[in-house]
Amino acid sequence: MTGDGAASGRRRGRLRAARLSPGDVIRLGGTGLRTRPLRVFLSALGIAIGVAAMIAVVGISGSGRAEVDRRLDSLGTNLLRVAPGDSLNGTKAKLPEEAVSMIRRIPPVRQVAATGATDAHIYRNERIAIGRTGSIQVLAADADLLPAIGGHIGRGRWLDSATEDYPAVVLGATAANRLDVYTPGTRVWLGGRWFSLVGVLDPAPLAPEIDGAALVGRPAARTYLRFDGHPSTVYVRAEDSQVTRVRAVLPATASPAKPGEVRVSRPSDALAAREATESALTGLLLGLGGVSLLVGGVGVGNTMVISVLERRPEIGLRRALGATRGQIRTQFVAESLLLSLIGGLGGTVLGTAITAGYALSRDWPTVVPVWASAAGIGCTLGIGMIAGLYPAVRASRLSPTEALSGT
């Protein structure tokens, strides 16, 4: 045999270590965990407690924040009012008839509705003296006004497509008291003709001016009260995080030709306070979560180091049977990842259960951000890999004779 043929034969006869498939790696890692169930349970429990603490803190604070948002929404922190200011010649300016439709095009705007002032007056009957108006203002109202101002019907019904075209009126709570009229179906003298009362509103704390007003549908106001179509107040609900930006563009949007003649209310101070609180709370939550995960990672690393020391004979036997250093490293890293995954999943379930129980006990909405669960499991796997890498490298460096000798 020539020299080239002998070398080729030696290459063909050289033994190669078998490659481990992903299934083999998972089985190897699982075998190492199953042989020490109590230690694995305690280590996984430490990880689970850390992840559960992070998710519970994030979830409970998120649920509390949702409750605060709900209450602040009822206080109108994201409610802006657009009204005409004074024109350059000192007279009262007017908003364009298209102001509502133009404001509705702003992306962060959730709801928009308007009322328009009329010159009409309302009386209990036609025999009341003209001057005794009771300071009740008659307003043309959009059909979607109530959701925008957070109003509610106390009796009867609100104006809708079936009533806004006809002589029908809804009274605010104060206006109903002044007229001493509360029963839907009662006729009132409005604008020189009879209108039918269809509803009475509960007090509207976000828009107290509505309490002392009589509300008529915009189509009916045009037909019976000579309403000119110009809104006198536009109520705008925007996304909480975008209220300041929406306020900045409202004048030019409501009246592109004369933005200087538009007045916009300033955002509530409660909204700014909430944004500052959320920023500080987010930093606190990230700090607590990081400490919890670090504690869990230390537990994983400690478990894997002890596992390497206890399993030196096993490592030596596997090396003697042909396992490579890379396979030994892969085995111990897989064990570390499986241990971290078990703890991360258990902690996610436990943290979600704690959040739900606490939120239900306080009658809060249950909020567990998806990012918190994903971050908990992802960070746990990352920390588990880092914590298991040193023991895995240490195990792979053991020679077969050194490992079998137990020294």
Confirm if 313 and 402 have CB atoms less than 8 A apart: no
DSSP 92: B
**Tens digit of pLDDT at every position of the chain (407 positions):** 444 444 444 445 555 555 666 776 677 667 767 777 777 787 778 778 878 877 887 788 778 777 776 766 666 678 899 999 887 776 778 999 999 999 999 999 999 999 999 999 999 998 888 878 888 999 999 999 999 988 999 999 999 888 999 999 999 999 999 999 999 999 999 999 999 999 999 998 888 899 999 999 999 999 999 999 999 999 999 987 788 899 999 999 999 998 989 999 876 555 555 555 555 566 666 676 667 666 666 766 666 667 666 666 777 777 777 777 777 778 778 887 888 888 889 888 998 999 899 889 888 888 888 877 887 788 778 877 877 777 777 777 767 776 666 55
Q: Which of 61, 68, 74 shows the shortest CA–CA distance to 367? A: 61
CA 72-75-78 angle, to 5 degrees, is 70
Considering just the CA atoms, what is the radius of gyration of the chain in Å? 36
Q: What is the largest CA-CA distance in the chain?
A: 131
Residue 354 structure tokens: 């704690």
Residue 279 confidence (pLDDT): 58
> Domain ranges in the chain?
21-71+274-405, 80-268
DSSP 202: P
User: 227: part of which helix (H) or strand (E)?
Assistant: none
**Pairwise CA distance, residues 150 & 73, whole Å:** 9
3 state DSSP class of 60: helix
**Pairwise CA distance, residues 106 & 98, whole Å:** 14
> Which pTM does this prediction carry?
0.56
3-state helix, strand, coil in the chain (%, to 5): 55, 15, 30
Residue 10 confidence (pLDDT): 46
Count of Cβ atoms closer than 10 Å to residue 17 Cβ: 12
Beta bridge partners of 168: 196
Residue 10 structure tokens: 């030696």
Beta bridge partners of 197: 169
Confirm if 193 and 224 have CB atoms less than 8 A apart: yes
**Phi, psi of 225, rounded to the nearest 5 degrees:** -120, 10
Confirm if 51 and 343 have CB atoms less than 8 A apart: yes
Confirm if 347 and 299 have CB atoms less than 8 A apart: no
Residue 74 structure tokens: 């009822």
Confirm if 308 and 9 have CB atoms less than 8 A apart: no
DSSP 110: E
Residue 166 structure tokens: 């006809």
